[in-house]
Structure 1
C-alpha cells in the first residue's frame, strides 16, 4: 500500500518575493510523494474606492473597477503560471502541482488560513514585502498566518535561502524526533546534509549577570555536563532515525553548544557558520505552554531568521 502523499500549500501573492518562495520549495522539497497547491487570493477593490457613492462618475468608476480586476487577474495568472513552471523545472511532475486562484472572501490572511486548514501537511509563506522595512520582522499577512498555526507545519521563507544544508534544532521534548523526521523526509534527503544542533544555556543566561558568581564554577560546569548527558540519548535516537531514512552517515553532523546566553541566537549563529539555508524547529518545546502558539525559542527565531527558511513543525 502506498503512503499518503505530503500536501504542501504555497501562498503566492504575485510578487517576486513569492516566486523566491516557490524556488525554495522546488530546490529543497522532496518531489517524490509530494503534492503542491499554488494558492493566490485576489484582493478586493479597496472600500475607499466606493466612498463617494453613485456620483456623476459612477459609470467610469465601474469601468475602472473592471479594468483593475482584469489586470489583477491577469497578473495573478501570469505569476502562478511562472510558479508552476519553476516547480516542474525542479522535477515536480505536472500532475502533482495544482494552481488555485480565489477571490478574497474575509481577508487575505484569513483566506490563506482557511485554505491551509483543508488537510494540508505544510503551509509555505514568505515573510512579506513589508518585512524588508527596517522596523518590520514580518509582513502583516505572514504575521497573522504564523500566529494562527493553521497547518501541522509552516515554512517561513525569507531572502533567497536555497541551500542543501539543513540545521535541525533539537531539545529533549517529546516531539524532538518528530522534528527530525520532518526535516529528513519532507526536505530532499537525496542531497541534503543535516546538522543536529542543541544549545545549552549557562547560569549567566538565566540569572542576572551580577548573580552568576553566587554559583560555584564547579556547580555551573556540572549543570552543563548533566544537560549534555541528558541530551545524548535523544541525539543517538535522531542519528539512528536518519540512518533508517537513508541519510548517509557522512552527511550527518551533531553539535552541542554550551553556556550560551540565547538558544535562538546560537541556532542562527550555527546556521550561518555552517551555511545552512534551512532551520527546522518545533513549534513549542519542552514547556508546551498552552497559552502561547509558539515557544520562546521559536518565536525569537521567527524574528531572527531573515536569511534562512524556518520550518516550524507543530
Structure 2
C-alpha cells in the first residue's frame, strides 16, 4: 500500500534536519512518497489552485516575492531528497499563502489524506513558545486525525520507543506503526510502560476494541497478564512487522511519566518516541497531558503523536 508523508518546509536549518530524518528512514522504501509543502504568510487565494493549470480558465495570478522564495526553498528541498537516492517521481511540491500557517498545513494534510505530517521544531523553547507561539505547538493542538511527527535535531536512528498502557490511544499508535513499517526488518521497536507512584495499575479492557478488531482477537490478545505488551506485539506482527524487530522493556515506577519516557528512549538509543494521545474530552492535569509534557522536554529526538 502506497504511503504519503507531508513534510513542512521553511528557511530554517531544522527544516533540513526533517528532510534528513525522513530520507534516512524511508529513502529506500519505494512505497513511500513525499509531499513537500511551504506555507508563507499572506491572504489565501480566492480560487483554489487548478488541478490542470495548462487547461484552466482561472486567470493567472502574479507571483509574489514570498511565493518565489517558497518555490526556491521547495526546489532545494527536492534536491536534498534526490541526493539521498529518492526518485523525482516520488516527490511532489506545493507552495501556498495562508493567514494561519498551522491551520493551512493541517487542512492541506487532511485534504490529501496523508499518512503523517512532518514538522521540525525550531527550538524556541518553552518560554519562547508561550510568548511567540510556534507552528509545531499549534499543529500539536490541531492534529487529531492525522499523525504528527515533530523532529528536533539530527536523528539517524532506526530505534523507536513506544509507551503502551492498554488504552485505545496507545493501540492507535501501534496501529500507525504497523501501517508505516509493514514489511520492514531494519527498524527496532521498544514497547515500554512506566507507571506513576500515584496512579492505579493499568487494566486492559478488550471490550473497548471489539468494534475495530473483533471480540475473538481482543479477548485473546488484550486480556490476561502482560496484555499491555501481547496486544501491541500481535498487532505489529499481523501488520507485517517482523517479530525480531519488537522488544519489551522492564516496567519502572516513576514520579513523572514523561521524564521516564525520555530517559528510556536515551538509555536504549532510540531516536524516536511514538505516543498515542488521549482524546480532548479526557481531563488532563494543569501541566498538560503526558504527550504534551514529553514533546516539551524532548531534545534531539523525534516525537510521533497519534490521536
- Look up the SS of the partner of 2:171 in the other structure: helix
Compared with structure 1, are the counterparts of its residues 296 and 133 closer, same or farther at alpha carbon in structure 2 (3 Å cutoff)? closer
Once the 2 structures are TM-superposed, how far is the Cα of residue 225 of structure 1 from its aligned partner? 9.8
Q: Does 1:34 align with 2:27?
A: no
- 1:148/1:293 contact within 8 Å kept: no
Measure the CA separation in 2 of the matches of 1:37 and 1:293.
Answer: 34
Measure the CA separation in 2 of the matches of 1:198 and 1:33.
Answer: 32
- How many equivalent pairs are there? 264
Compared with structure 1, are the counterparts of its residues 289 and 37 closer, same or farther at alpha carbon in structure 2 (3 Å cutoff)? closer
Partner of 1:211: none
Q: Does 1:22 align with 2:19?
A: yes
The RMSD of aligned alpha carbons is 3.1
Q: Which runs of structure 2 are paired with 1:87-236 in the superposition (5 Å)?
A: 87-102=81-96, 104-118=97-111, 119-128=113-122, 131-133=123-125, 135-136=127-128, 140-149=134-143, 151-187=145-181, 189-203=184-198, 232-236=226-230
Q: For 1:310, which of 293, 303, 306 is the aligned residue? A: 303
Measure the CA separation in 2 of the matches of 1:181 and 1:111.
Answer: 26
Measure the CA separation in 2 of the matches of 1:177 and 1:226.
Answer: 14
- Structure 1 residue runs of 4 or more that deviate by more than 4 Å after TM superposition: 223-227, 291-295
Measure the CA separation in 2 of the matches of 1:95 and 1:36.
Answer: 9
Q: Does 1:298 align with 2:296?
A: no
Q: What is the TM-score when the length of structure 2 is the normalising length?
A: 0.75
Pick the structure with greater CA Rg.
1
Measure the CA separation in 2 of the matches of 1:132 and 1:162.
Answer: 22
Once the 2 structures are TM-superposed, how far is the Cα of residue 159 of structure 1 from its aligned partner? 1.3
- Look up the SS of the partner of 2:251 in the other structure: strand
Deviations 1:241-283 (CA, angstroms, capped at 9, x unpaired): 3333444433321014232111111110000111111110112
Partner of 2:55: none
Once the 2 structures are TM-superposed, how far is the Cα of residue 117 of structure 1 from its aligned partner? 2.2
Compared with structure 1, are the counterparts of its residues 231 and 160 closer, same or farther at alpha carbon in structure 2 (3 Å cutoff)? farther
Structure richer in helix, relative to its length: 1
Once the 2 structures are TM-superposed, how far is the Cα of residue 43 of structure 1 from its aligned partner? 2.8
Q: Which runs of structure 2 are paired with 1:243-282 in the superposition (5 Å)?
A: 243-282=237-276
Unaligned runs of 5+ in 1: 46-65, 207-222
Measure the CA separation in 2 of the matches of 1:42 and 1:279.
Answer: 29
Compared with structure 1, are the counterparts of its residues 301 and 120 closer, same or farther at alpha carbon in structure 2 (3 Å cutoff)? same
Partner of 1:84: 78
Unaligned runs of 5+ in 2: 44-61, 205-222
